[in-house]
Amino acid sequence: MIEKGKHEVRQVLKGKKRVCQTDVENMNYIKLVLKETLRFHPPDPLLFPRKSREQCEIDGYTIPAKAMILINNWVLGRDPECWVDPEKFEPERFKDNFVDYKGNHFELIPFGVGRRICPGISFAVTNIELLLAALLFHFDWKLPHGMDPKDLDMIELYRSSCTRKNPLVLIPKIYIPTGDENY
């Protein structure tokens, strides 16, 4: 996957020395990688808590007035009724799929939904994609000690947001484009 991302980034940037925002528009694969990351590892798995204004019924359950409501978007992202093979990290699942994270599809709500949806979506997405493209353009990445990607420790730690429990250790090798590469 990292090879696929690197290939795309370096092909789009052929002949250039650095990545610009406009280049990222042509990097479709890294956009799929970000979407899949937000599905599989949402940084805010329970969104912000809500409080019910009045008693109501949802799917046969009575929700009392003033109850605290938590929406578990971590579970929504892994619901087998919404996703094929949900435990598999597969960016291609979004290739011909119009589901996005902008609050219109309730199976993918890493930024929340409705009037309190995250107002920083565009800022966040733009910066993450740009950073990812720059990391793939300027470095070749390796796991230490010939480690298999399947053995990566992906355990999450949930406090106010969800992060890796243990740091990711990678070995970067600087890549200096000559302009003659054949990608």
Residues 13-72, interacting with ligand HEM (CB under 6 A): 43-44, 47-48
Nearer to ligand HEM, 71 or 170 (CB): 71
Cβ–Cβ contacts within 10 Å for residue 45, how many?
Answer: 19
Q: Are strands 68-69 and 50-51 parallel, antiparallel or unpaired?
A: antiparallel
- 82 phi/psi in degrees, rounded to 5: -105, -25
Nearer to ligand HEM, 86 or 112 (CB): 112
Choice from 37, 78, 86, 112 touching ligand HEM (CB under 6 A): 112
d(CA 2, CA 174): 15
CB-neighbour burial class of residue 116 (10 A; exposed 0-12, middle 13-18, buried 19+): exposed
Nearer to ligand HEM, 147 or 154 (CB): 154
Q: Which residue has tokens 């996005």?
A: 100
Using alpha carbons, select from 127, 93, 135, 113 the residue that is nearest to residue 44. 113
Q: Is 108 in the site for ligand HEM (CB under 6 A)?
A: no
Retrieve residue 69's tokens.
């409501």
Residues 117-146, interacting with ligand HEM (CB under 6 A): 117-120, 123-124
Identify which range of 84-92, 111-119, 136-144, 171-179 contacts ligand HEM by CB under 6 A. Answer: 111-119
Q: How far is the CB of 176 from ligand HEM (least distance, A)?
A: 30
Identify which range of 3-11, 60-68, 84-92, 112-120 contacts ligand HEM by CB under 6 A. Answer: 112-120
C-alpha angle with apex 26: 21 to 27, nearest 5 degrees? 90
Nearer to ligand HEM, 55 or 163 (CB): 163
**Sites of contact with ligand HEM (CB under 6 A):** 43-44, 47-48, 110-113, 116-120, 123-124
